[in-house]
């Protein structure tokens, strides 16, 4: 069976939580790896997704190591939506706004 992997990057502005609050990760840029297998016997080329991984960089004593953390499409979409919502809330708060210039 023939397989292929595609890679992309996603950046989170805020800390994120995955897998029903079991994995907490810091804000940053993460690599996403999607593995697919070729469906044989068709008259056209088609692939089926077999796995999706979020590549997590190690911290502390595991610095320098990267661990693939299996993630579903729904978990990734939820994490991205939560990050956007958190960013919008932060950007709209008074604390995040720059001070008004005094023109008197």
Give the alpha-carbon dihedral of 19, 21, 27, 29, to 10 degrees.
0
The Cα–Cα gap between 53 and 81 comes to 18
Average pLDDT over residues 97-104: 45
The token pair that represents 46 in the structure block: 């088609």
pTM of the model: 0.73
Is 33 in a helix, a strand, or coil? strand
Stretch 27-52: mean pLDDT:
92
| Domains in the chain: boundaries | 3-88
Mean local confidence (pLDDT), 26-31: 91
Which pLDDT value is given to residue 63? 75
Question: How does pLDDT run across 48-95, given as a tens digit for each residue?
Answer: 999 999 999 877 777 778 889 999 989 888 888 988 888 777 665 444
């Amino acid at each position: 069976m023939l397989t292929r992997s595609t890679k992309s990057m996603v950046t989170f502005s805020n800390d994120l939580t995955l897998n029903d609050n079991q994995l907490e990760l810091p804000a940053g840029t993460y690599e996403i790896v999607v593995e697919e297998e070729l469906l044989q016997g068709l008259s056209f080329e088609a692939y089926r997704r077999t796995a999706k991984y979020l590549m997590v960089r190690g911290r502390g004593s595991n610095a320098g190591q990267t661990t693939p953390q299996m993630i579903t499409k729904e978990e990734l979409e939820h994490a991205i939506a939560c990050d956007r919502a958190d960013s919008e809330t932060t950007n709209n708060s008074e604390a995040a706004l720059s001070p008004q210039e005094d023109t008197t």
